Chain A
């Protein structure tokens, strides 16, 4: 009895005290919480700080604050906090997360908070389409650029590759020359592990005429075209042009050591190479972007669209302030500073037209690559991360010969159908 009384007393004290703590939390000044990962990355942290500082210098009545996590933990944290009712306002999300955030009713429809005229004046329709979900604007693009193909001009020249390969046949011939020139080089830095394997595979799948889904939403990854694409990639691996057990991070480091002739990366590839040790004066001769080779002349060079989106959390206390904060960070001034500091292409029309962007040779080439950019078909599904893993596992099984390409693609189809059912 005595114990029961003590336990009851403790529970009473706790229940009385808890609201006091929460009241104290509610008395904090009004805040706009900008959540994501950019503010945790070494190269973009200073500019995110500046975005927040310049906002706070304005007399809005709201203090902006950054809350961030590592890139690969951000999605998980956004879900936990949204479900937990935490007052987040502006969310930085990846393409594959936007739909999942919407499906859990975690974000607001943006047409309600941004007027149509402002959107039309500042964004191309194609850019806005990146944030459209079921005909509603659920995210605004912050930066958009395709995952491109990069080559080392010095290695190509030394290996006798005189022309940038434009077709798969030319590409394969270039790889053969590079391997003959120096067998220790990774001729083609195709990602062979992790989720980046799927990201590297999709543009080749499209190049060969395949697709993960058809227009009706049926899984078609086991099509003859898809099997052909994988068979071709496997042949490159069998010839030693592709090295197994490599992900994007590994390849970036090895590329900077000038041990990789071709690989795929985002627009910041040049800055990453510099961070990984390529001297400033050797960048141009070490890393250059190119279009992905096509199957036959005249085909459109494929690339997978990549970028960061901004959403407004359903937990926001003031959606209009959140929208104003987004206007602040995607605005011309901040976009250009973000571009200058990180190399991320702006989206807003005025910033895109700015000479700083227009006259930048690297960015201009990337705009050309992005022209053919295609949204990953997996992003149309809330299970995009799971589908990415399934495809990566099956591709890997084929590359290490534990399955034939046909069986791997068939298994991928079965597993994808199960995942989206």
Chain B
């Protein structure tokens, strides 16, 4: 189909995608470029660094708390991702497939968390967490992150479930399946792409957060990645860009791998759901 297009279109298409690729990949390349530099060469703008060193990578892995921050982030982001996805799925299903009094009001309440800037909500969440004695715990962060991902997750999945014909549920009921069985065996498998979107959204939200993590976590042993990296490499008198870029590359590798593997699983799930239907 592309071959049959006029030459002008082809040139425009290729140039457009090359420019787009530069926009997407150049910052990533520059991160890698900076990670290979020594501190004194940070402002040396060569495409290939002058004195290439792998010392930054060795330093990040062996001399810093970055591996610990990463473990903490995986715990917090993983937990909030799983919980937010599950709760959103049940809530979304409830709003989509059940008719009961107060359903709209409850839905509005779910969405109300999105009405306020998240920095403003921090003041309230901080006080509740403080009152509950949960400060400086992973649970405090997980609860806070769920607060923000639940509204979007519930609304998205409600819309997703709305598109699933009720006849699938009816056929499940005819076969003698209960509500939970219908949800778990029929609805969720064919909703995997929707669930994946929420899982990825909530994971990234938790992974990137600085403000909540800085506020709710006080001990360095429980710090998550984003504030941990800032604390390690930036300060009143220090700014270690090369180490920061190195750490950023290293910590993105496992997450990228998880998502690449998950993507395959999601596609499989979608395909199997389609065959079942």
Proximity bits, A1-44, B CB within 8 Å = 1, else 0:
00100000000000000100111110000000000010011110
Q: Which of A18, A22, A71 contacts B235 (CB 8 A)?
A: A71
Q: Does B3 contact A (CB under 8 A)?
A: no
Q: Which of B38, B214, B230, B235 contacts A277 (CB 8 A)?
A: B38
Q: Does B2 contact A (CB under 8 A)?
A: no
Q: A41-B238, A268-B237 are in contact. Are A73 and B133 (CB under 8 A)?
A: no
Proximity bits, B26-55, A CB within 8 Å = 1, else 0:
000000000000111111100000000000
Those of B219-264 within 8 Å (CB) of chain A: 227, 230-231, 234-239, 241
Chain B residue nearest to A257 (CB atoms) is B40
Query: What's the Cα separation between A72 and B239 when bound, in Å?
Result: 12
Q: A69-B231, A73-B214, A86-B130 are in contact. Are A41 and B123 (CB under 8 A)?
A: no
Q: A69-B231, A80-B123, A250-B43 are in contact. Are A43 and B130 (CB under 8 A)?
A: no
Q: Is A254's CB under 8 angstroms from B126's CB?
A: no
Those of B91-121 within 8 Å (CB) of chain A: 100, 102
Q: Is B123's CB under 8 angstroms from A67's CB?
A: no
By a CB distance below 8 angstroms, the chain B residues around A367 are none
Q: Is A277's CB under 8 angstroms from B133's CB?
A: no
| Closest chain B CB from A348 CB (angstroms) | 22
Q: Is B234's CB under 8 angstroms from A70's CB?
A: yes
Q: A21-B134, A277-B40 are in contact. Are A80 and B237 (CB under 8 A)?
A: no
Q: Does B122 contact A (CB under 8 A)?
A: yes
Chain A residue nearest to B44 (CB atoms) is A257
Q: Is B40's CB under 8 angstroms from A276's CB?
A: yes
What does DSSP make chain A's interface, helix, strand, loop or mixed? helix
Q: Does A418 contact B (CB under 8 A)?
A: no
Q: Is A22's CB under 8 angstroms from B40's CB?
A: no
Q: A21-B132, A22-B131, A69-B214 are in contact. Are A253 and B39 (CB under 8 A)?
A: yes
Query: What's the Cα separation between A81 and B102 when bound, in Å?
Result: 37
Chain B residue nearest to A83 (CB atoms) is B123
Q: Does B179 contact A (CB under 8 A)?
A: no
Query: What's the Cα separation between A139 and B108 when bound, in Å?
Result: 47
Proximity bits, B47-91, A CB within 8 Å = 1, else 0:
000000000000000000000000000000000000000000000
Q: Is B238's CB under 8 angstroms from A40's CB?
A: no
Q: Does A129 contact B (CB under 8 A)?
A: no
By a CB distance below 8 angstroms, the chain B residues around A21 are 131-134
Q: Does B271 contact A (CB under 8 A)?
A: no
By a CB distance below 8 angstroms, the chain A residues around B42 are 253
By a CB distance below 8 angstroms, the chain A residues around B127 are 84-85
Query: What's the Cα separation between A295 and B49 when bound, in Å?
Result: 43
Q: Is B38's CB under 8 angstroms from A272's CB?
A: no
By a CB distance below 8 angstroms, the chain A residues around B268 are none
Q: Is A42's CB under 8 angstroms from B235's CB?
A: yes
Q: Does A231 contact B (CB under 8 A)?
A: no
| Closest chain B CB from A8 CB (angstroms) | 13
Number of interface residues of B (CB under 8 A): 33
Q: Does A256 contact B (CB under 8 A)?
A: yes
Q: Is B130's CB under 8 angstroms from A41's CB?
A: no
Proximity bits, B176-213, A CB within 8 Å = 1, else 0:
00000000000000000000000000000000001000
Q: Is A80's CB under 8 angstroms from B122's CB?
A: yes
Q: Does B166 contact A (CB under 8 A)?
A: no
Query: What's the Cα separation between A226 and B245 when bound, in Å?
Result: 41
| Closest chain B CB from A280 CB (angstroms) | 15
Q: Which of B38, B214, B236 contacts A41 (CB 8 A)?
A: B236
Q: Does A181 contact B (CB under 8 A)?
A: no
Q: Does B218 contact A (CB under 8 A)?
A: yes
Q: Which of A42, A67, A71, A257 contacts B43 (CB 8 A)?
A: A257
Q: Is B43's CB under 8 angstroms from A254's CB?
A: yes
Q: Which of A3, A41, A72, A83 contacts B237 (CB 8 A)?
A: A41
Q: Which of A83, A249, A256 contacts B40 (CB 8 A)?
A: A256
Query: What's the Cα separation between A305 and B215 when bound, in Å?
Result: 30
Q: A77-B214, A276-B39 are in contact. Are A71 and B122 (CB under 8 A)?
A: no
Query: What's the Cα separation between A67 and B227 when bound, in Å?
Result: 14
Q: A69-B231, A80-B126 are in contact. Are A253 and B132 (CB under 8 A)?
A: no
Q: Does A320 contact B (CB under 8 A)?
A: no
Q: Is A67's CB under 8 angstroms from B39's CB?
A: no
Q: Is A43's CB under 8 angstroms from B214's CB?
A: no
| Closest chain B CB from A217 CB (angstroms) | 30
Query: What's the Cα separation between A20 and B134 when bound, in Å?
Result: 11
By a CB distance below 8 angstroms, the chain B residues around A268 are 237
Those of A237-289 within 8 Å (CB) of chain B: 249-250, 252-254, 256-257, 259, 266, 268, 271-272, 275-277
By a CB distance below 8 angstroms, the chain A residues around B133 are 18, 21-25
A-B pairs, top 4 by smallest CB distance, nearest first, are: A21-B133, A25-B133, A277-B40, A71-B236
- Can you report 22 residue pairs joining A to B where beta carbons are below 8 Å apart? A3-B102, A37-B235, A40-B231, A43-B237, A70-B227, A70-B234, A70-B235, A73-B210, A73-B230, A80-B126, A80-B215, A81-B126, A85-B127, A85-B130, A86-B130, A252-B239, A253-B39, A254-B43, A257-B43, A259-B43, A266-B237, A277-B39
Give B residues with C-beta under 8 Å from A: 38-44, 100, 102, 122-123, 126-127, 130-135, 210, 214-215, 218, 227, 230-231, 234-239, 241
Other than A81-B215, A250-B43, give 19 A-B pairs with Cβ distance below 8 A: A3-B100, A3-B102, A18-B132, A25-B133, A42-B235, A67-B218, A68-B231, A69-B231, A70-B231, A77-B215, A80-B123, A80-B215, A83-B123, A84-B130, A85-B127, A86-B130, A253-B42, A256-B40, A272-B238
